Amino acid sequence: MHIPLEHYLIVSGILFSLGLLGVIMRRNLLVIYMCLELMLNAANLALVAMSRFNDNLNGQIMVFFIITVAAAEVSVGLALIVALYRKRQTAHVEDLTTMKN
C-alpha cells in the first residue's frame, strides 16, 4: 500500500497555513521567524513529494538549494534580530514603531 500524493500535499498545506497563522498572530520576532521556516519547509515537502511522483530529480535539487539558502538567511535574520535587541532591548513586533508619521 502506498501513500497517495495528495496526503503529502495536504500535510504540506496544513504546515503552510500553520506557519502563516503564526506569522500573523505572534508578537515575538523569533517565533515569527520560526513560523516563516515552517512555511518554507511546507514548500520543500511539496517539492520532494512532487519530485517523487513526477519521477525526476529537479524537485529534490531545488530543495537542496532551498535548504542552503535558508541556512544563509537564518544567519542574517538572527543577526538582525540580535542587533535590534541590543539597540532597543526588545524582540516584539509591536515595538517596531520608530517610523510612524
Partner 1 sequence: MSGISYSEILKLVAPEMLVSLAALAVLAIDLLVMREAPQRYRFWTGAAFAGLGCGLAIAWLLAMNPPPHSMSAGLSLLQGTYADDVLVRLVKVALLVMTLFTLAISMESNFTDHIGEYLALILLATVGMMFLVSSENLLMVFISLELTSLSLYILTAFNKRNVESAEAALKYFLFGGMSAAFTLFGLSLVYGLAGSIQFSEIYSKLHAAKIDTLLLAAIVMTVIGFGFKIAAVPFHLWAPDAYQGAPTPSAAFIASGSKVASFFIFAKLMMQAFAGAEGNGAWRHFTPGWLPVVATVAACSMLLGNLAAIVQGNVKRLLAYSAIAHAGYALLGLLSNSQQGMSSLIYYIVTYGLTVLGAFGVVAIVEERTGDASISSFAGLGRRQPLLGLCMMVFMLSLAGIPPLAGFFGKFYLFTAAIGAGKDMGMLWLVIFAIAMSAVSLYYYLQVLKQIYVVPAVEDSRPIVVPVSSRIILSLLALVVVVLGCAPELLLGRLITAIKLASHQ
Partner 2 sequence: MGITFAIIAALTLVSAIAAMSLRNLVHCALSLAVTFAGIAAMYLQLDAQFVGFAQILVYIGAVAILIVFAILLTRSSETPQPVISRSWIMGIVIALAVFGVLTKVILSSSIAQRELPAKPAPTVRQIGDQLMTRYVLPLEAIGLLLTAATIGAVIIAMHDKKGRGDGGQNVNSTPSRAEAHQHADETHNLIT
Q: How far apart are the first and last CA of the chain?
A: 61
Residue of the chain from 4, 28, 65, 92 that contacts partner 1 (CB under 8 A): 65
- Check residue 100 for interaction with partner 2 (CB under 8 A): no
Q: Shortest distance, CB of residue 7 to partner 1, whole angstroms?
A: 14
The answer to the question of residue 1 lying near partner 2 (CB under 8 A) is: yes
Question: 3-class DSSP state for residue 46?
Answer: helix
Would you say 44 and 66 are in contact if contact means Cβ atoms under 8 Å apart? Answer: yes
Select the binding partner of residue 71 from partner 1, partner 2, none (C-beta < 5 to 8 A, by kind).
partner 2
CA atoms within 13 A of residue 100's CA, in its CB half-sphere: 5
> How far is the CA of 90 from the CAs of 49, 52, 79, 80, in angstroms?
39, 44, 14, 12
Note the residues at the interface with partner 1 (CB under 8 A): 5, 9, 16, 19, 23, 29, 32-33, 36, 39-40, 42-44, 46-47, 49-51, 53-54, 56, 58-59, 61-62, 65-66, 69, 72-73, 76-77, 80-81, 83-84, 87-88, 96, 98-99, 101
